[in-house]
Structure 1
């Protein structure tokens, strides 16, 4: 079974030993960030730094001035955490160690965009904006993200891409000093809190027969029991159906447009994978998709190992089902169980492993990766 691992350019640039160290793990592929959200990350083995702070969502290469000139929405070049063509430098170094490179492109997750262009953000039923979550129903947002997908995915040195947040984002977000632990729990409440009521979405609900004001009031009413500690109430069936229809149609067409744009810019054989959840209305970094639909236009998906069985019945010859397995003990992974988890994913239909995250992992975590990949082969 082929295996890859996620990585940031700053894990490689400035560390000549990094490519060789990664190659000795038994990896075939590195999924290297090309467009990424703000983060703070450790670099346990880097000779020059131990903590990298990426202050805002940025592209980790020089964006094409001709593509973005005169446009209100455009990508932000990275600061000193990934100056110049950090992606290109890292990709070249990894190729020198015979490691295949996929670009890792985060789309609908961008706090700086929402701060500077608040009209682009998801707005919940209470009128609160989510600046980290661009609304993919808006024409300007879609045009920006589709062009970003094409540019960031097809970087020199990449033979494929993985599109993360290619769909609806929502409430869930690991925000700086996040204080939302007291919000209504459970997937139903998360979904209701993620429904957008920006002008584009209000129009979309109306086109599907739902008055947006009535829908917003119903969402607020359905959330009231959750704020008191119970489960959220269901929406009236006609309103629920209209809201879901708008969101599913919007997500589908956005995902199809992003994949089409990447393929138009890419050479033959370039692989396009989506980070995906098999529950269509789910939101977040792995947005919900219909497994029977997404695998008709994408080359495959990257999904938590537990979701592999939902996608497996819908594969075609050559479809990639990459099981996303965490490997960092400090982030809640269980490295001692990695081999068993990998074997289970393979039995359930996974064709590859995607290990999160080689740059954040300790030496002990990487030892478990090495042992697991050796056992699989």
Structure 2
């Protein structure tokens, strides 16, 4: 199985040993961040630093913002990186990794951007209580969609890249790894997360109207449905739980609006990448086969997304069950990449990588993604090398 390791430019730049060390893992490919959200990252082997703090979502290459550039005169535009990824950080790292014999693919984070929400509050998802989620751009808004589609094309098709992986190309909701997060006091399952992720910005309110719902009545119904959960009632979870809390008709109408909004955005973004890319350029989406799920692995309808993209990257840490719907409803030749965390300190299990990969292959996986070569300890990387040797 072909394997690719995720890396950041700051894992490579300034560390002349990083490219060869990554290649020595036994991977054929790297998935290198070209546009990424804010983060605080460990760099356990870098000769110059141990912690990198990326202060905001940014592109990690020079922005095309000249007078005749893609972003000239536009209100919504990407933000350049700060000193954590100066200049063409992506390009520098990509060249070094390619010289080590690795095939480089871009890693592009899209609808996850707290800086955008802070600077342009009107772009954010608004819940039924009127609270904004600055980390979550509303993907129904025309200007936001245009921004995301153009960012996908620009960040994906970097010089020398053989393909791209598009992350968070869909709805982002309540769930978010926020600094000093204090949102876990009430246990919200799938149903509660969905209700708290429904957007009530003006565009979404109109969208619900197109599905035969009154937006004010829907917001009231959502708040009423959530009230037992705030009081400690169990969340039944799953789509049946949403239908129980909100009612079948309302639940179906909200999902129809959101599924179509996400599906058309995914189609537009993939088409834009293909138009900008050379022949043979691979386009994958980080995806969850449950279309109402939100987050970095965007909820998709498997058959629809696999009719557009070359494949998907599927979260498989803790179990590979999410692969099955893609394998059952996909097409021949589609890439189904099992994404496995190999950082033991982040809940990964590099020691069981060979067994986990074998199980993923049984469920339809054709490739592996290893998260994350730059964050892992030396011991974790040694376990990865051993596992990949057994899989050859």
Query: How many residues are matched?
Result: 377
Hey, what does 2:349 align to over in structure 1?
Answer: 334
CA deviation after TM superposition for structure 1 residue 98, in Å: 0.6
Cα distance in structure 2, aligned partners of 1:183 and 1:200: 29
Stretches of structure 2 lacking an aligned partner (at least 5 in a row): 236-243
Distance 1:361 1:184 in 2: 30
- Shift of residue 304, structure 1, vs aligned partner: 1.6
TM-score, length-scaled by structure 2: 0.95
Tell me which moved more, 293-302 or 177-186: 177-186
Aligned partner of residue 162 in structure 1, secondary structure = strand
Whether 2:258 is the aligned partner of 1:247: answer: yes
| 8 A contact 2:351–2:384 mirrored in 1 | no
Residue 314 of structure 1 corresponds to 329
Matched, 1:93 2:104: no
Q: Which moved more, 1:156-165 or 1:330-339?
A: 330-339
- The question of 1:166 aligning with 2:172 is answered no
1:33 to partner: Cα distance: 0.4
Per mean C-alpha deviation after superposition, the further-off stretch among 300-309 and 40-49 is 300-309
Tell me the residue number matched to 1:364: 379
| Conserved 8 A contact 2:59-2:78 | yes
Q: Is the 8 A contact 1:189 1:231 kept in 2?
A: no
TM-score (norm 1): 0.99
Do residues 265 (structure 1) and 280 (structure 2) align?
no
The C-alpha deviation readout for 1:141-192, integer Å capped at 9, x for no partner, is 0000000000000001211000000000000110111111113421110010
**Long gaps (5+) in structure 1:** none
User: Are the aligned partners of 1:4 and 1:354 in contact in 2 as well (CA < 8 Å)?
Assistant: yes
1:99-138 correspondence to structure 2 within 5 Å: 99-138=102-141
Which of these residues, 225, 246, 254, is aligned with residue 235 of structure 1? 246
Partner residue in 2 for 1:7:
7
Measured against aligned partners, the alpha-carbon deviations of 1:243-265 in whole angstroms (never above 9, x if no partner) come to 11100000000000000000000
Aligned to 1:209: 212
* Residue pair 1:57, 1:110 contacting (<8 A) in 2 also: yes
* 1:153 counterpart residue number: 156
**Higher mean Cα deviation, 231-240 or 169-178?**
231-240
Deviation of residue 231 (structure 1)? 2.9
Question: Partner of 2:288: helix, strand, or coil?
Answer: coil
Partner of 1:29: 29
Question: How many angstroms does 1:230 deviate by?
Answer: 1.4
- Which stretch shows the higher mean deviation, 101-110 or 180-189? 180-189
Kept in 2: contact 1:101–1:157 (CA 8 A): yes
Superposed structure 1 runs of 4+ greater than 3 Å apart: none
Q: Which moved further from structure 2: 109-118 or 317-326?
A: 317-326
Whole-Å separation in 2 of the counterparts to 1:144 and 1:231: 39
Once the two structures are superposed, residues 186-210 of structure 1 have per-residue CA deviations (whole angstroms, 9 ceiling, x without a partner) of: 1110010000000000000001100
| Alpha-carbon displacement from aligned partner over 1:331-351 (angstroms, at most 9, x marks no partner) | 011222111101101111100
